[in-house]
Chains A and B, each alone.
Chain A
Amino acid sequence: MDAARAQELTDEELDAYILTRLKSLGVDLGVLPEDEPDAPADRRRVLMGARRFLRSTPQAILAWEPDPQAVTPVLYPASQGRAVRERDRG
């Protein structure tokens, strides 16, 4: 699915995905109040934030396409800085 089609997913589809994914991991949003503005968190706002996240972040990241042969995934890039400069000096 391309990014534009992901944007088209309905709230209901995304909510179903979110709740199913969480349930598969054993995480239950059902303990939160449904819609309680004075509560620190409720299901309505948590799902709203999650939908916004899913409509943006995964597509934005995967839309960026580096050459996988040229770039390795690195957890702590700063410590590689010296190596990068070594590489550039041949």
Chain B
Amino acid sequence: MAERPRVRGQGGGTLAPLDRLVDRRLFLERMGLLTAAAVAGTACTPARSSVYTAGGAAGPSTPSSAPLPDPRSVRATQPWEMTLAELASQIREGALSPTEVVEAYLERIRALEGTLRAFNTVVAEAARAEARKLSDRRWSGPLHGIPLAIKDNYYTQGVLTTANSHIYRDFVPAYDAEAWARLKAGGAILLGKTQMGPLATSRATTPDGDPTTRNAWAPLDSSVDPGGSSSGSATAVAARMAASATGTQTGGSITNPSSRQGLTGIKPTMGRVSLRGIVPLSYTRDHPGPLARDAMDAALMLQHMAGPDPLDPRTLGLPPVPDLAMAAQPVRSGTRTVLRWPTTLGILPGYLDPPEPEGDEPRFPTRREETPGERERRLRVAAARRAAETAARQAMVATFESLGARVVEVDLPEEWEILTSGDFNNVRLPERAEPFLDVLRRDVRLFGVALSPWIHGLLLSGPEYLRGQRAKMVLLQRVLDGIFSRCDAVVQTGPVPFDMIGLPLIAFPIGFEESRGYPLPVSALVGGLPFGEERLLSLAAAYQAETDWHRRRPTDPTDSPGGAPPGPAPAWRLDVLDVLEACE
């Protein structure tokens, strides 16, 4: 790769962001690598390339030079109140040991899990044992002794991995998912495996559709969506039951739960993080990534997770992972926070307009007719929420302008509505069915409420699948040539378009709304260019240096000696058509 030039932003000279560099040699090198692999018949399991640093047990492929917070500046008194970066600084200084940190989180889980149901499995004794080992070792980096929650579709060696599905009911992997292995190599400690939508489809439920995880901001109201499918990961981090967590995103499953629960979640560019050892959903669209408390924590997580994996060809031939944690370090100019890089923020048509009066507040159960009173309340709640969202968006854009961003309205590309529609989104479904064909043949009941998309995947034929792949390339070209000819990052109103074409997305909180009589987070979703994670993290970090939405946490459910009691049992469950709708 060509040496990265330096640019002079408001914050002074700094390496140019990766997203605006074009390197013909890099592309040719990538094509050469893939061609060679194909000729050798090893495209699925290419040999280790000497061009790239292998990840895995080595930890992050690119170590960060970003400084950790000054331990004297940490105001939180409880370990679980601290951000990951703050915890790291405390552990490095010896002010806290990994054992103290793990015990604090286990106590937190004991107190809250009965109500929130964020976890499928908590590995308390294993976490304690690992913490003891790490407490006796020299500090090895920002993840040393940091307790994490891992989504239950990541393989974890020796620990049950169910993906909330009957199919994996008794599955104990013999190895770790590459993304988790990298976190572990950095010193992270597994607290437990988190609840998720069955096979990463809807919000978290049992395989047969009974809702499990609560939104940490509404622990007693099961109708408040915790966001799916990485529901348990989001609740665990929002309720301070883990320092940070992992998720996967195929259709919004990192950014949606992050948005619902006031977290900073980043879905990286396709291929940036290895998918090896993660239960597949759609192999061209699955993206692993972190759900974190702020941009810096997300950067520290992604710094470790990202990088080439010789056994996942999707990760090979890409630009090297930049210093993401440095990108998430706010830049000061005198007394002001400024953007790390000159940035034009694109605003989609209508993004800041007053909302439509009719809302789309979800209702449960969907199969029962609403009474007029229920409908009136649902629409009133939705209208209030949308009005609050619009106000928060307007304030967010004003904040970015004050940080030095240039804000421009960008047009949607030609045929946007068609190419990002549910029908074109469905092109991914054969990718679900193919790896599960043996299970479909064995017994379709093993899919529980998640069955329908797998059946639909068997009904789509080759021509439709191929045309859908053409559509993705057309969409990418139009997004790059249209939207990104005018801006460096663009707000989004939903995750699907950028999920389809593999571009990065970041979600971060920008306010709260009280449509139900208590605060629920409102968030922004911003998309970037290929490998634009560092710019997205830098934008969120600058915004968070000037706001405090990301520091707020939900009120704890009432604790009692045996832990907080379960909330009222939901009077509804998802069925096969509900999950289908959630997937569309």
- Are A and B part of the same complex? yes
Separation of A34 and B425 alpha carbons in the complex (Å):
29
A44-72 contact mask (Cβ, 8 Å, vs B): 1 or 0: 01101110011011101110101010011
Contact assessment for A80 and B577 in the assembled complex, using a CB-CB cutoff below 8 Å: no
Residues on A with C-beta less than 8 A from B466 are 73
Separation of A41 and B464 alpha carbons in the complex (Å):
27
- Known contacts A57-B423, A79-B502; decide if A41 and B284 are in contact (CB<8 Å): no
A11-43 contact mask (Cβ, 8 Å, vs B): 1 or 0: 000000010011001111101100001001110
CB-nearest residue of chain B relative to A33?
B445
- Known contacts A40-B575, A49-B580, A80-B473; decide if A86 and B444 are in contact (CB<8 Å): no
Interface residues in A, total, Cβ within 8 A: 48
Within residues 448 to 468 of chain B, which ones have a CB less than 8 A from any CB in chain A? 448-449, 451-452, 455-456, 458-461, 463-464, 466-468
Separation of A40 and B318 alpha carbons in the complex (Å):
42
- Known contacts A26-B441, A32-B444; decide if A56 and B423 are in contact (CB<8 Å): yes
Q: Taking the nearest CB of chain B, how far is it from the CB of A62, in angstroms? A: 6
Contact assessment for A86 and B24 in the assembled complex, using a CB-CB cutoff below 8 Å: yes
Residues on B with C-beta less than 8 A from A62 are 463-464, 467
CB-nearest residue of chain A relative to B418?
A64
Residues on B with C-beta less than 8 A from A53 are 426, 456, 459
Contact assessment for A82 and B461 in the assembled complex, using a CB-CB cutoff below 8 Å: no
Contact assessment for A73 and B452 in the assembled complex, using a CB-CB cutoff below 8 Å: no
Within residues 66 to 90 of chain A, which ones have a CB less than 8 A from any CB in chain B? 66, 68, 71-86, 88-89
Contact assessment for B473 and A77 in the assembled complex, using a CB-CB cutoff below 8 Å: yes
Q: Taking the nearest CB of chain A, how far is it from the CB of B424, in angstroms? A: 6
Of the four ranges (under 10, 10 to 19, 20 to 34, 35 or more), the interface on chain B belongs to 35 or more
Contact assessment for B271 and A79 in the assembled complex, using a CB-CB cutoff below 8 Å: yes
Contact assessment for B452 and A50 in the assembled complex, using a CB-CB cutoff below 8 Å: yes
Q: Taking the nearest CB of chain B, how far is it from the CB of A76, in angstroms? A: 5
Cβ-defined partner of A73 (8 Å) among B269, B424, B469, B481: B469
Contact assessment for B460 and A79 in the assembled complex, using a CB-CB cutoff below 8 Å: no
SS class, residues of chain B in contact with chain A: helix
Cβ-defined partner of A41 (8 Å) among B26, B467, B474, B575: B575
Separation of A79 and B426 alpha carbons in the complex (Å):
21
Contact assessment for A54 and B459 in the assembled complex, using a CB-CB cutoff below 8 Å: yes
Q: Taking the nearest CB of chain B, how far is it from the CB of A5, in angstroms? A: 17
Contact assessment for B423 and A60 in the assembled complex, using a CB-CB cutoff below 8 Å: yes
Q: Taking the nearest CB of chain A, how far is it from the CB of B341, in angstroms? A: 18
Cβ-defined partner of A81 (8 Å) among B314, B468, B480: B480
Residues on B with C-beta less than 8 A from A56 are 422-423
Residues on B with C-beta less than 8 A from A82 are 22-23, 26-27, 530
Residues on B with C-beta less than 8 A from A49 are 452, 455-456, 576-577, 580
- Known contacts A40-B209, A83-B27; decide if A77 and B448 are in contact (CB<8 Å): no
Residues on A with C-beta less than 8 A from B576 are 40-42, 45-46, 49
B124-140 contact mask (Cβ, 8 Å, vs A): 1 or 0: 00000000000000000
Cβ-defined partner of B427 (8 Å) among A50, A61, A89: A61
User: Is B185 located at the chain interface by the 8 A CB criterion?
Assistant: no
Separation of A66 and B476 alpha carbons in the complex (Å):
14
Q: Taking the nearest CB of chain B, how far is it from the CB of A39, in angstroms? A: 8
CB-nearest residue of chain A relative to B425?
A57
Cβ-defined partner of B456 (8 Å) among A26, A28, A42, A50: A50
CB-nearest residue of chain A relative to B446?
A31
Pick 23 A–B contacts, CB within 8 A, sort by A: A18-B455, A21-B458, A21-B459, A22-B455, A25-B440, A32-B444, A41-B452, A42-B576, A45-B577, A49-B452, A49-B580, A53-B456, A53-B459, A57-B460, A61-B471, A64-B467, A71-B470, A76-B284, A79-B502, A81-B503, A82-B26, A82-B530, A84-B476
| Chain A contacts to B: CB under 8 angstroms | 18, 21-22, 25-29, 31-32, 37, 40-42, 45-46, 48-50, 53-54, 56-58, 60-62, 64, 66, 68, 71-86, 88-89
- Since A80-B476, A82-B530 are in contact, a sample of 12 more A-B pairs with Cβ atoms closer than 8 Å, ordered by chain A residue number, is A27-B444, A49-B576, A49-B580, A50-B459, A53-B459, A60-B421, A61-B424, A64-B467, A78-B503, A81-B476, A82-B22, A86-B22
Nearest 5 Cβ contacts at the A-B interface: A78-B502, A73-B469, A81-B530, A60-B423, A41-B576
